[in-house]
Structures are given as structure tokens and as C-alpha cells.
Amino acid sequence: MDFENIAKSAKSAALEIADIPAELKNQALFEIAKELENNKQEIFEANKKDLEAAEKLVELGELSQSTFNRLKLDENKMRDMIQGIRDIAKLEDPVNKKLLVRELDTDLTLYKVSCPIGVLGIIFEARPDVISQISSLAIKSSNAVILKGGKESVNTNKTILSIINSTLDKIEGFPKNVLQQVFSRDDVAEMLKCDKYINLIIPRGGNSLVKFIKENTKIPVLGHADGICHIFVDETADLNMAVKIIIDAKTQYPSACNAVETMLIHENFPDKDKLLAALQLSEIKLIDNPDTWAFEHGDTTLAFKTVSGLDEAIEHINNYGSGHTDSIITKSIENAEKFMNKVDSAGVYFNASTRFADGFRYGFGAEVGISTNKTHARGPVGLEGLTIYKYKLIGNGHIVKDYVEGTKQFHHKDLI
């Protein structure tokens, strides 16, 4: 099947799934979670093949260690992946929610109602758990999806989607072709040209991938190019808290986009030397004044800078950050509020690790990615970010002429 036919079938599936009941979608999700659990070993075997091939690419210098790390699907990731699907099933249906009900006039009522976006094109690298996350979110939000994973995870991706689709095939009334997968670079090129059928592209990968996609499509793109996250240690910060938070934000999963890359320290923070020593003991490689501050290390390297105060920290973050997630460690609520109000990022935190920037941890069940956009959706994008809205107007023979001529008047009364 060529790509245009895949896209056409996805469009038809999107129109079908837009109107299926919430109960059927939830049934599908619970069945998918069960079948993935039942077939864990098959998935691990497929992932093992991908890891063996990827290891050779790392040795040849053709694949980064951070990409290799993201590729591995272990018991913890599998557990979270399956639990995420069940959590999504338990969430409120995001479709057909009344966002506004306004009586324009007697018997003339306007409804703003949430609805699916339609067909999503998802292009991602290395992360095999993305398949189940996006598939589950797409089902719950009544969208169709075309997935293109990286070649380094092809066996894992094929196995996971095969289990998901074979499960859906057994569910009576569930539309066909809601979840489809493509594999070649040519398919990516075709996807980016397919604005007739695809409504939104969501890239999940490195800076070069996101930039390439944004520059080569007319379809709206949702995502982020970089994950340059900061932590500012204010002068009143508690040393033990700062050590704990920064170690977590840097070492818990160094290649994640929400790992901290730059630490800013107030010049009057009394325990600077103790903080730096504690971080080095945790095998964090500290760099003072690097060649560039706008850099995502993806490993245990942490750039740091001493700043004159809160204002300089905010200015630095807004200049060099990627608008992803930034945190302040302080005892001053006033400083925390100013930081969170003035830092121009999708996530702004107070005494917490940047690693919390995640749809699963936010209670969204999962996420399709993290967006630094300022339109439609921002931050970890869960169900709400996969819906848009439409206006429904219900009247009783109403015509505009009556209002233009003044025989009738609007009274614009909000009912919710």
C-alpha cells in the first residue's frame, strides 16, 4: 500500500472513531493492556534484537549512547507503559465535553464542544514505549494515527503495534486502520506532504529531526526541538534539598529531555562549595562557563554558572533555555512566585526536580510528547492536547436578518 492510501484509510478511520462510545474505547484500552502484559516476553525478545544491532552502531560511532539508552525496554518501563494504558482508560472521555454553553437568544444556543483533531502523524526516534503511549492516547481521544519509529527500534515497534492491532481486531465495532505504522524515509517525506489527510505532525526526537520536520511541511507541528532545562539555586536554598533535587534531575535519566543541563547558583548562596562537591561525588561532571549555554548534553555533564541574583537567573534562562522546564530551589515564596511568573517556559517548578515534566507523572496516563509551542497545547501533551473544538449552534428557524434589522436582539446568556 502506498502512503497516500495509508493516509486516506487513516482519514476514514478518524471519521469513524470520532463517533464511537467511550465504553468501547475503554474496553479496547483494557484489552490492549492485558495483551501487552501477556506477551511481555515476545516484546522483550524483539527489543533484545534491536539492542544487539544498536550496540554495534554505538561501537561504530553511528549511534549515540543516549539514543541507545532510550531504546532499552526493561521491566520498569514495561510496567509503566502498561499502567499508563490502564490509567488512560480510567480518565474522563475528552471528546464531546461542553466547554461553553451560551444562549444567544431564546431557542438559539451555542455550544463549544471538544472533538478529535483527526489524523496524527507521529515521527519518533528510539523510544519503543512511545508506540503504546500514543496509540492509547489516540484511541481515547478518538484520533487516527500514522506512526513512524526509528530504524533502531523497528523490531520492538512492529511487535508492540502488532499485539495492539490484533487486540483491536477482536473488538466488535472498533474501526479498522485507526493505528498504522510506516517504516521508510520515503514514507516520512510523503507524510510531510500529506496535508490533505494529516491534521497534525508530532515529532519526538532530537533537535535536527524536529527542525527538519518544521522546515519541510505545511502541516502544523507540535513538539519541542531542545530540552535545555535549568535549576536556579537561590541564596536561601536548603543545601540538602538542592543536592537531592539536582542529582535526581541530572542522573535519574540523563538522556531525557527534562534532565537538567544548566545549574545557576546565587552568588550569596553560602554552601556553593559543598554543593559542587556533593554533585561531583555523585559522578556528575561539572563544567564552569562552557563554550555555549544553549546545549543539551544528554549525559551526566552539568554546566554551572554563578549569578548575581534572581533577575540574572531569569534573564539567563529566557535567553538560553528552550522553553521546556526550569526550576528554582529557595525558601522564599516571593522569589519562587517571581521566577515562575517571569520564566517563559512550559513548566516552571518550585523546589522540585525537572524530571517531573512528564504526562504519566502529571496524571495524564501518558503523553504524545512535550510541547514548547504557544498555540493549542503546551508542556506534556496528553488527551486534552489531542482534541480541538467545534461550535454547535442549535436554533429554531433563526435568521441573521432579524438581528440586523433590529426585530430581535441577542442577550448572550452563559448557561455554564
User: What letter would DSSP give residue 221?
Assistant: B
Domains with residue ranges and CATH for the chain = 3-222+368-390 (3.40.605.10), 229-356 (3.40.309.10)
Give the residue-averaged pLDDT of 116-145: 92
CB 377 within 8 A of CB 222: yes
Query: Does residue 25 have a pLDDT over 90?
Result: yes
- CA angle 231-383-7, nearest 5°? 115
Given a cut of 80, whether residue 109 has pLDDT beyond it is yes
The pLDDT value recorded for residue 166 is 98
Which residues have CB under 8 Å from 218's CB, separation 6+? 195
pLDDT at 366: 76
- Cα distance between residue 137 and residue 139, in whole Å: 5
- % of residues, the chain, pLDDT over 90: 79
pTM of the model as a whole: 0.85
- What pLDDT is recorded for position 386? 94
* Grid cell listed for 265: 547558583
Predicted local distance difference test score (pLDDT) of residue 63: 84
Tell me the mean pLDDT in the region 244-273: 96
Please state, in angstroms and rounded to a whole number, the distance separating the CA atoms of residues 354 and 370: 13
Which of 297, 296, 309 minimizes the C-alpha distance to 338? 309
pLDDT score recorded for residue 289: 86
Mean pLDDT of 246-258: 94
Q: Express each pLDDT in 368-393 by its tens digit.
A: 888 888 878 889 988 999 999 999 99
Query: Model confidence at 206, in pLDDT bands (50, 70, 90)?
Result: confident
pLDDT of residue 130: 86
In tens, the pLDDT along 91-108 reads 999 999 999 999 999 999
- Of 83, 86, 88, 78, nearest to 43 by C-alpha is 78
> What's the pLDDT at 355?
97
Where residue 314 falls (left for φ over 0; alpha for ψ -120 to 50; beta otherwise) is: alpha
Of the listed ranges 143-147, 224-228, 284-288, the one predicted with least confidence: 224-228
What does the pLDDT look like over 335-371, one tens digit per residue?
999 999 999 999 999 999 999 999 889 988 778 888 8
- The H or E element that residue 315 is part of is helix 310-320
Q: What's the rounded Cα separation, in Å, for the pair 283 and 299? A: 11
Cα 120 to chain centroid distance, Å, stands at 13
Give me the chain's average pLDDT, please: 94
Task: Tell me what pLDDT residue 272 has.
Answer: 98
Per-residue pLDDT at 10 exceeds 80: yes
pLDDT of 66 over the 80 cut:
no
Mean pLDDT of 284-310: 94
Q: What is the pLDDT of residue 260?
A: 97
Question: In 10 A of CB 188, how many CB atoms?
Answer: 22
Pairing of strands 108-116, 387-394: antiparallel
Read off the pLDDT of residues 163-192 as tens digits, 9 standing for 90 and up: 999 999 999 999 999 999 999 989 999 999
Question: What's the full length of the chain, in residues?
Answer: 416
* ∠ CA 348-351-353, rounded to 5°: 70
**C-alpha torsion 50→56→62→67, nearest 10:** 40
